[in-house]
């Protein structure tokens, strides 16, 4: 349930597949055009704000740079001040720490990634309580939390209905679950923008094709790995992370807006708000012109930058 690929996808195992099939050759050609070729200026990686793929520090800084946007979304449903607040999928807790600089509350962070939790405890242990969760449960008593929030986590839940049901269990009556996530068919739904850097690649090609091409590009001499694929101690490139397709299937549940809505209908939450957020134009200014299309049925799956919903546990 971590925010970043490096915390969920295992280092590559097995042999890198040959890229011989026509879809793979076509995908590789397009990817190279966006990597170093004629279309490089439109690359999702080069357009990434704050050069977030170039170092761990810049990656965290970029994540934290959005904290004001998240706080504005959350604040419509009450302040965090004085409450017990849990972040589901907290990684090392940097977003919780940024929110704590704005409000005082009891901060809890839950994640399945033991290494991320250890880093968080070392850095923020005096301010945040970190909890090792499972894909389906959070180790907290019934009715013990006022607010749960998730940011860019729902798409990584391997058992989304079960863990959301457990969120309902640990919330106090009247408590809120605030969820922000990117639906599968959005332009960067494959989470491969650091290497397959053209938008909607997963709409055109299968995930297996994308991973095979990514594995091939990763071992090429002209590819510079994103920061999370470089060993922080040795500076060496980690083993190819794109070979193990099963781990990527665990990392991405490919949830669509409609699938998420169907899950919500089976849970005892009251849906207070459900919003489809259009593109903000931070990376591509022209994308602001597509905002209205994020509200159009079917088109919303492709032209929605994120979904935000507020769910309340009945009193």
In a domain, 45, yes or no: yes
- Based on the fold, state whether residues 161 and 284 are members of the same structural domain: yes
pLDDT, mean of residues 54-70: 87
Full residue range of the structural domain in which residue 194 is found: 7-59+185-242
- Based on the fold, state whether residues 296 and 165 are members of the same structural domain: yes
Is the pLDDT confidence value at 196 over 50? Answer: yes
> Of 59 and 214, which is predicted with more confidence?
214
- This prediction has a pTM of 0.90
3-state SS, residue 70: helix
| Per-residue exposure over 211-238, b if at least 16 CB sit within 10 Å of its own CB, e if not | bbbbbbbbeeeebebbbbbbeeeeeeee
Is the pLDDT confidence value at 7 over 70? Answer: no
Question: What is the Cβ-side half-sphere exposure of residue 141, based on CA atoms within 13 angstroms?
Answer: 3
- Based on the fold, state whether residues 27 and 166 are members of the same structural domain: no
Report pLDDT for 106.
97
In a domain, 289, yes or no: yes
How far apart are the two ends of the chain, measured CA to CA in Å?
28
3-state SS, residue 176: strand
- Based on the fold, state whether residues 101 and 147 are members of the same structural domain: yes
Which two tokens mark 176?
């809120």
In a domain, 1, yes or no: no
User: The domain spanning residue 107 has which CATH number?
Assistant: 3.40.50.150
Report pLDDT for 50.
60
Domain count, the chain: 2
- Based on the fold, state whether residues 167 and 303 are members of the same structural domain: yes
- Based on the fold, state whether residues 37 and 89 are members of the same structural domain: no
pLDDT, mean of residues 248-253: 93
Question: Are the C-beta atoms of 178 and 70 separated by less than 8 Å?
Answer: no
Question: How far apart (Å, rounded) are the C-alpha atoms in residues 209 and 204?
Answer: 10
Question: What is the Cβ-side half-sphere exposure of residue 74, based on CA atoms within 13 angstroms?
Answer: 28
- Based on the fold, state whether residues 166 and 86 are members of the same structural domain: yes
């Amino acid at each position: 349930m971590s925010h970043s690929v490096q915390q969920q996808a295992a280092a590559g195992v097995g042999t890198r597949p040959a890229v011989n099939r026509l879809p793979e050759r076509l995908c590789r050609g397009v990817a190279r055009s966006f990597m170093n070729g004629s279309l490089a200026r439109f690359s999702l990686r080069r357009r990434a704000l704050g050069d977030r793929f170039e170092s761990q520090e810049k990656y965290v800084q970029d994540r934290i740079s959005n904290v004001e946007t998240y706080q504005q979304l959350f604040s419509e449903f009450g302040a965090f001040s004085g409450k017990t607040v849990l972040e589901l999928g907290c990684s090392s807790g940097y977003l919780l720490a940024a929110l704590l600089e704005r409000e005082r509350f009891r901060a809890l962070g839950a994640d399945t990634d033991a290494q991320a939790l250890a880093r968080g405890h070392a850095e923020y242990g005096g301010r945040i309580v970190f909890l090792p969760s499972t894909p389906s449960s959070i180790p907290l008593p019934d009715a013990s939390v006022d607010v749960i929030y998730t940011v860019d986590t729902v798409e990584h839940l391997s058992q989304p209905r079960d863990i959301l049901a457990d969120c309902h269990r640990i919330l106090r009556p009247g408590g809120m679950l605030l969820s922000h996530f990117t639906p599968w068919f959005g332009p960067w739904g494959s989470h491969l923008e650091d290497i397959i850097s053209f938008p909607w690649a997963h709409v055109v090609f299968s995930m297996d094709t994308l991973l095979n091409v990514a594995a091939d590009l990763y071992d090429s001499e002209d590819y510079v790995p994103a920061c999370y694929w470089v060993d922080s101690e040795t500076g060496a490139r980690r083993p190819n992370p794109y070979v193990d397709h099963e781990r990527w299937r665990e990392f991405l549940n490919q949830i669509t807006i409609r699938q998420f809505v169907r899950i919500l209908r089976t849970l005892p939450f009251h849906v207070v708000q459900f919003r489809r957020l259009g593109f903000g134009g931070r990376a591509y200014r022209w994308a602001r012109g597509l905002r209205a299309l994020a509200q159009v049925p079917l088109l919303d799956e492709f032209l929605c930058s994120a979904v935000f919903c507020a769910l309340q546990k009945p009193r």
